[in-house]
Amino acid sequence: MSLLSVLGLAKAGEYSEGQVWSYKTRPGEEKSTVLINKVELNEKLGKIFHISVSGVEVKNKHIAGGITTELPHFPVSEETLKKSLIKLVGKSKPNPSYIEGYNTWKEAFDEGQAGIFTISVSEIISFVEETINKQ
């Protein structure tokens, strides 16, 4: 057993569907986790990871209460996971809420109208928060 596996850290290529990870969160969201719902292989981009993030506190002026606590779908690169994930904390079935976002993304992606994130998970969350509150 390697030191990395003892510490709960994964080497590149060990990310897989159903894993739940702690990650480098934004301040105040330390209990937030990332779930890898689906992994697909793309000939140009390599592995694409479809993640959900739960336990966040995203300001959202468009909903009652003003806070979104779950972000069901982001398509991300392995680079994003390497920048963000800290420790494997569990296993889970895919978040059923990710499917709608995945299907919308997949259609746009196949038409060349969408891509994947390569920035860190916390940067993605901040980007989403800014974007939804501009509208």
Q: What is the pLDDT of residues 1-13, one digit of tens each?
A: 444 444 444 444 5
List strands edge to edge, sheet with 85-91: 67-77, 46-59, 33-42, 19-23, 85-91
- pLDDT at position 135 is 72
Give the pair of three-digit tokens for residue 100: 């709608």
| Contact by Cβ (8 Å): 94, 73 | no
Q: What is the pLDDT of residues 11-30, one digit of tens each?
A: 445 899 999 999 999 999 99
Query: Would you kindly state where each structural domain of the chain is located, as residue ranges?
Result: 3-134
Q: Which amino acid is at 32?
A: S
Question: What's the mean per-residue pLDDT of the chain?
Answer: 91
